[in-house]
Amino acid sequence: MSVRSVIEAVLHRGPISRAELARITGLSKQTTSEVVRALEDSGWLRVRGQTQGAVGRSAVTYEIQQDAAFVLGVDLGGTKIHAALANVVGTIVAEEMEPTDSRGGLAVVEQIGALAERLARKAGLAPGGLRCAAMGSPGVVDPRSGKIEIAPNIPGFDRIRVADELERRLGCAVVIENDVNLAAMGEQWQGCCKDVRNFAFIAMGTGIGMGLVLDGRLARGASGAAGEIAFLPVGGDAFDSRGQFHGPFETAIGSVAILQRYRGFGGRMAQDVRGVFAQLSQGEEAAIATLDETARVMVQGMMAIRAVVDPELIVLGGSIGVRDELISRLRLLVARHLGGALRLEPSALGSRATLVGAVGTALSRIHDSLFGLTSLQSDFALPAGKATETA
């Protein structure tokens, strides 16, 4: 625990002297000096400078050696891959985005490997410097095996052990998590949920998904399917076989459903959901009715979520979920039917939420594993305000 205490204090308080470290951590001065010396010898700490004491004596100050290790964060979608390389304190040093290989499977694994190599070259990273990678993927990720059980947007991903293949390609440990779960973790680390212990992150776009944080920890469920709200029996018949693949709720509220609803209300001008919002700004009656009805169905789902887990806050993300036109309607309905007890906020990180969550997850993994703390029940506390920076 002494190593953890010192590293965490330097991360959050550095540059810092050994005397300050002893005071903050409660360790003896001798133990503090021994830990600092060991961390300095192993390349994790470096001398930053000196500070002048109250009685005129100077003290050496220490900070984290930022390039001691690097992590890779990946946001994998059906149409794009967004990846970033970050140093050990969370500062992103290289970042790229490109279309996802439509062949899926091992072709996507190879694509991620090639992308990681380009980022490493761009950052001047020496071979072997990448210590951990975390990837957010659509679908249900089994927390026990890391296998992606359902991956409708990436062909072939449910037929290979993605984590194992990525570890072979990248040469480092790999963590795979549902993309919406990582978005929730990104908001918890650097977004609008830093001080919130119980919240839900709902991503609403082509489909709908949820990441759920309860008592400060991500809830995955027995098989990794916690938060798969697409299958809530809301907005349609749960026993209708037409909704079994995408789920009744997603079938009623996803982008396809919104466009169909618009057509049903007599709308003809819009060709996609973006067009529906454009028509809404023009005051078209069909577009207004479409958003009103979509909000009503959405709040039914929120009622179910509140009844089961009672979150303090629901964060709305995704291309549709962050729209002010939808959020204002949701807030009105929540105030009217839930007494305003449920707070709604748009994602503070927007389209970067999953990427930030991936970087934070990889950093937590190496911080815990490198200092022998893998059995700890709580996540390593990371410094805030780093991973959204770009080189």
Q: State pLDDT tens for residues 213-267.
A: 999 999 988 888 899 999 999 988 888 776 667 789 999 999 999 999 999 999 9
Best CA proximity match to 254, nearest among 304, 285, 287, 209: 209
Contact 292, 330 (CB under 8 A): no
pLDDT level of residue 150 (50, 70, 90 thresholds): low
Lowest mean pLDDT among 181-185, 256-260, 337-341: 337-341
Secondary structure letter of residue 283 according to DSSP: T
Q: Regarding predicted confidence, which is higher, 109 or 143?
A: 109
What gap in Å lies between CA 198 and CA 313, rounded to an integer? Answer: 7
Run of H or E including 176? strand 173-178
Nearest Cα neighbor of 135 from 155, 156, 151 is: 151
SS3 384: coil
Determine contact, residues 92/86, Cβ cutoff 8 Å.
yes
Q: How confident is the model at residue 191 (pLDDT cuts 50, 70, 90)?
A: very high
Percent of the chain with pLDDT over 90: 62
Q: Which residue has the higher pLDDT, 30 or 384?
A: 30
Strand partners, 99: 80
Residues in the chain: 391
Q: What does residue 217 show for φ and ψ, rounded to 5 degrees? A: -125, 145
* pTM over the 0.85 mark: yes
| Helix ranges, 124-178 (H) | 162-170
> 185 is written with which tokens?
């973790």
The three-class DSSP label of residue 351 is helix
* Residue 375 CB coordination number (10 Å): 6
Of the pLDDT bands very low, low, confident and very high (cuts 50, 70, 90), residue 378 is very low
